[in-house]
């Protein structure tokens, strides 16, 4: 039985390698982005060319109702109503949201993924807002002045 244990553990860890989380860049050639939602829990992702969409360290949570202890629990679970990260400045930056929730009183799930492409300017701070309403997902992007950023909805692809 012991000879099978080592290969089984190695296989388990090997299968997890493609779930790497996003490593945010630092420096002058970066922009910041803050993800929020309409009080809907979801996972922000950033396209890393050649590596695919990668999940940010924190996911978007619903706003907690409780006090400090609930906030501390949400922090420990890496969930927050706002998720801020940086990304490389790029003419073709891509961001996205993954949403997956079990429907109330049902065995079905609501699922979607939505992606935007835009020109991420160095030094700019963007706001990406995810919304889920009546079975429809949406993602909008504004710049630091609150104006709509020139972003387009794109297929769920992260080009090389």
What pLDDT is stored for residue 74 in this prediction? 64
* CATH code (residue 149): 2.60.40
How many domains, in total, are found in the chain? Answer: 1
Residue 1 domain-assigned (yes or no): no
Residue 36 domain-assigned (yes or no): yes
Range of the domain at 91: 21-154
pLDDT digits (tens, 9 = 90+) for 96-105: 999 987 667 7
Residue 11 domain-assigned (yes or no): no
In order of 37, 79, 123, 138, the CA distances from 62 in angstroms are 8, 9, 29, 17
Average model confidence (pLDDT) across the chain: 83
């Amino acid at each position: 039985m012991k000879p099978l244990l080592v290969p089984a553990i190695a296989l388990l860890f090997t299968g997890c390698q493609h779930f790497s989380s996003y490593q945010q860049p630092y420096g002058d050639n970066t922009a910041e982005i803050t993800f929020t939602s309409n009080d809907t829990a979801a996972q922000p992702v950033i396209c890393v060319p050649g590596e695919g969409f990668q999940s940010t360290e924190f996911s978007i949570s619903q706003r907690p109702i409780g006090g400090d202890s609930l906030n501390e629990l949400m922090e420990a679970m890496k969930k927050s109503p706002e998720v801020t990260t940086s990304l490389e400045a790029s003419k073709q930056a891509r961001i996205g949201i993954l949403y997956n929730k079990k429907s109330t009183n049902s065995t079905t799930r609501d699922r979607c993924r939505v992606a935007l492409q835009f020109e991420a300017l160095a030094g700019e701070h963007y706001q990406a807002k995810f919304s889920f309403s009546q079975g429809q997902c949406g993602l909008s992007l504004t710049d630091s002045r609150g104006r709509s950023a020139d972003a387009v909805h794109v297929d769920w692809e992260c080009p090389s």
